[in-house]
Amino acid sequence: MSTPLLPISEAGCVRRGTHLPKGRTQALAPGQAAVRQLHYGRIILDGTGQPLSFSSGGLETGLICLRGGGWIEAAGQRFELSKYDALYVPRSSQVTVTPGPDGFDLAEVAAPVEGDYPIQFVRFADIQKDPTLHFMTGGPTDRRNLNILIGKNVKAGRIVAGVTFTEPGNWASWPPHEHSVMLEEAYLYIAMPAPAWGVQFVYTDPRNPELIVVVREGDVVAMPAGYHPNVASPGCSVGFLWMMAAHREVEDRQFGVVNVQPEYAQGGSGLEASRK
């Protein structure tokens, strides 16, 4: 029997300060938050060089470096990651994470899969060279820098992930869109040193939004359904790691296939570059 999905609410969707605990922690998982497939956790190690090991179990896993750097061993290979590099780790893998001298801060994005997919390393520098994976989108009030880290460039079953950074005071995920038939999503707020903050919306009814919440560095918001724009406070930028899990393995794993809120649909989604 599947776990009932929690409703769109602050209790079900919002987890605060996930960048604070050290070690390996979990913030989103089915049964604990408003997600069906998506798992999100954090691995934060100081610069002592002491490794951390774990098994990916039945989950395909994306490990994305948010700060510092270090080494990851998995599937008989060793990779060195720096800021915004990503590593796709297959299910049933033993993983060892070793921090560099500046520590190692990783987002752990995962979902259960039946298929077997190869380990794959993604350099952020390489993403910058591909106009379908890295592009600017939006207009004067919703300009942002979008980077797809784990998308069509990575063979996988469910997970998709990337990082987006707005211009100061601008909106993101605008025009409002949703894709709940295919994918659930969460936003992890990053690169927002105090006093930076923003506001996240999640709603199925624009006139009666289920969730409007202030967000800061380290907060994560799950979006099981509904439109989900956000906005930065004046003078501040919003940065977020977006992570998605497809409902149907492989078939639903498509970035940029969205339903734009009808009132704003005339100009497109702003994600068209990713579909080329």
pLDDT at 275: 87
Residue 62 lies in a domain: yes
Which ranges constitute the DSSP H helices of the chain? 10-13, 124-127
- Mean pLDDT of the region 152-181: 98
Residue 48 lies in a domain: yes
Residue 204 lies in a domain: yes
Residue 271 lies in a domain: yes
Residue 131 lies in a domain: yes
Measured at the CA of 62, the angle between CA 158 and CA 66, to 5 degrees, comes to 135
Residue 2 lies in a domain: no
Residue 148 lies in a domain: yes
Res. 4 pLDDT band, cuts 50 70 90: low
How many domains, the chain?
1
- Mean pLDDT of the region 235-247: 98
191: left (phi over 0), alpha (psi -120 to 50) or beta: left
- Mean pLDDT of the region 21-30: 98
Residue 5 lies in a domain: no
pLDDT at 120: 98
The per-residue pLDDT for range 76-121, each reduced to its tens digit, is 999 999 999 999 999 999 999 999 999 999 999 999 999 999 999 9
- Mean pLDDT of the region 223-249: 98
Who contacts 262 (Cβ-Cβ below 8 Å, separation ≥6)?
none
Quote the domain boundaries for residue 246: 10-275
CA distance 110 to 50: 24
pLDDT at 1: 38
CA distance 11 to 87: 31
pLDDT at 82: 98
Find the CATH number of the domain harbouring 44.
Answer: 2.60.120.10
Q: Other C-beta atoms within 10 Å of 153: how many?
A: 17
Res. 3 pLDDT band, cuts 50 70 90: low
Using the predicted structure, report yes or no on whether residue 2 has a pLDDT greater than 60. Answer: no
